[in-house]
Structure 1
Amino acid sequence: MAPPLALDIDGTLTTSEHTIDPRVFDALSGWDGPVVMATGKSFPYPVALCHFIGIEERVIAENGGVVYGEDTLRFTGDPDRAAAAIEAFVDRGGAVGYGTVDTTNRWRETELAVSIDADEALLREVAAEFDLSVVDTGYAFHVKTPGVEKGVGLETMAELLGVDVASFVAIGDSENDASMFEVAGESYAVANADDRAKAAADTVLGESYFDGTLSVLRSIDSSV
């Protein structure tokens, strides 16, 4: 059996235009081992991706705030505190940046996200007052409970699957993947990764986006 995978989505399974690389579907649909989608996106996004690929729904969402697998759903984090912090941020002139409907945050359960174009200094100042942390994924600022990380989520997922977390191969591109890299047995940062991810990874790939991810999958299983 192939090793279990822990895969970030944005920047890792996508193209440089931020769309899912179509090669993802063939590469992952036949993977002979568990595949876990580990993302900062809200819960429905990775569940839908698993559904359309045709693999079991095994998901770490909201940077570890939501873990779903083996018919078990777990939440970690304080959404009320995050909501209060965002309200204070807006009251002080900050802008969430996602419009009236805000599909980025509509289904979030444990944290909230703010546009990457927002006033970062103000956001961090307000978050600190509420004892919250801010993670810059390169795509958004995530306001979340300290200690809620993808790495903790991956440990939970390993427990649900009954496997050693060190058996996972993890691939990602941003600072929210660093904690996942620290607990996985093998970790890879794609070439477009930020400095924190590159520093935490065992290997920094020469290829970017899904080209990099695919190179790892093919090194493990040449039939991919």
Structure 2
Amino acid sequence: MVRLIALDLDDTLLTTDKQISHKNREALKACMDRGIRVVTASGRFNESQLVFIKNIGLGLEKEYHVGDGGGTIFSEDKILKVMGTIDKDRYLSVLSQTRELGVPCFVATSRNMFFDIPDQPLCRVYGKVPGVRRPYIERLEDLSAVEDALKFVFSYQSEEELARIQSIRCDGTITFHAGRNLMEITMESLNKFAALTELAELYGIGADEMACIGDSENDIPMIKGAGLGMAVKNAMDSVKKHADAVGEKTNDEDGVAWLLEKYVL
């Protein structure tokens, strides 16, 4: 029996234009009416994620969610736990390689996002996030001063840029797609499923009682680990092969509602 549903946001619950459809919202409400906990598990930083959680309109901002791709467990009121950080030696190794390769990046901590090179694509993306305090996103002259980093975030516009990002190597870290034209590097131990498992334990819920829905490579651990792992139709092929069920609808076609109605409700 499913007792907890974990949902990715971008390209899963959210449409391409970052909206939550009426049908998806109603499906989530139907789950909640049955006593099923609804949790979001996103690669977004917490403040950005909360904007969309509030837009769902079901009071979910009072509940705990998984943010930063598994780096944090948080609610509207507090960060319950930081699941881990990149140790300083590994952090400096990755940062050094980004500089050698000429790859601009953002660095995320549990409370801030930092960048050193202005006018990179991610500056424009993060600068448009509604409802987020501007000091959350800060420019630093020297990113080596950052402590307790959760992850590196990259945006690529070409296959050549992607290849440079993927060439970065550091033992104990993992590189993966986190969305359209987005790559991330973090510790292998930091992922959505590890955080969800700890969150579910607060409610006495086991992994076999969880259902997860996603589309990108940062969703693979939770899709593989949950009792019911599902992927929307528009998910990457590398994600679909790990899913117990693949939907017949995309994120722009109420794909979450389709999966919940068929396999959960």
Q: TM range, normalised to the smaller chain? A: 0.7 to 0.9
Question: What is the number of residues matched between the two proteins?
Answer: 219
Match of 1:99 in 2: 123
Report the CA distance between 1:130 and its aligned residue. 6.4
Report the CA distance between 1:79 and its aligned residue. 6.9
Closer/same/farther in 2, CA of residues 87 and 150 from structure 1, 3 Å limit? same
Q: Within 5 A, what are the aligned runs for 1:1-224?
A: 3-15=3-15, 17-23=16-22, 24-29=24-29, 31-32=32-33, 33-52=36-55, 53=57, 54-55=59-60, 56-68=62-74, 72-78=80-86, 80=88, 81-82=90-91, 85-86=94-95, 88-96=97-105, 97=120, 98-99=122-123, 102-103=126-127, 106=137, 110-117=150-157, 119-126=161-168, 128-129=169-170, 131-139=172-180, 140-209=182-251, 211-219=254-262, 220-221=264-265
Taking the aligned partners of 1:123 and 1:147, their CA distance within structure 2 comes to: 20
Closer/same/farther in 2, CA of residues 130 and 19 from structure 1, 3 Å limit? same
**Given that residues 124 and 133 in structure 1 are in contact (C-alpha distance below 8 angstroms), is that contact kept between their aligned partners in structure 2?**
no
**Larger deviation: 160-169 or 195-204?**
160-169
Cα deviation digits, residues 154-177 of structure 1 (max 9, x gap)? 111111222112111111111111
Normalising to structure 2: TM-score of the pair? Answer: 0.71
Closer/same/farther in 2, CA of residues 100 and 2 from structure 1, 3 Å limit? closer
Report the CA distance between 1:43 and its aligned residue. 1.8
Select the structure of larger CA radius of gyration.
2
Report the CA distance between 1:91 and its aligned residue. 4.4
Partner of 1:142, secondary structure, is strand
Partner of 2:94, secondary structure, is helix
Closer/same/farther in 2, CA of residues 102 and 2 from structure 1, 3 Å limit? closer
Normalising to structure 1: TM-score of the pair? Answer: 0.83
Partner of 2:11, secondary structure, is coil
Identity %: 24
Taking the aligned partners of 2:172 and 2:151, their CA distance within structure 1 comes to: 13
Letter aligned with residue 5 of structure 1: I
Partner of 1:143, secondary structure, is strand
Partner of 2:196, secondary structure, is helix
Report the CA distance between 1:137 and its aligned residue. 2.3
Report the CA distance between 1:109 and its aligned residue. 5.4
Closer/same/farther in 2, CA of residues 200 and 7 from structure 1, 3 Å limit? same
**Given that residues 83 and 195 in structure 2 are in contact (C-alpha distance below 8 angstroms), is that contact kept between their aligned partners in structure 1?**
no
Letter aligned with residue 218 of structure 1: E
Taking the aligned partners of 2:137 and 2:196, their CA distance within structure 1 comes to: 24
Closer/same/farther in 2, CA of residues 163 and 117 from structure 1, 3 Å limit? same
Q: Any stretches of 5+ residues in structure 2 without a counterpart? A: 106-119, 130-135, 139-147
Instruction: Note the aligned Cα RMSD (angstroms).
Output: 3.0
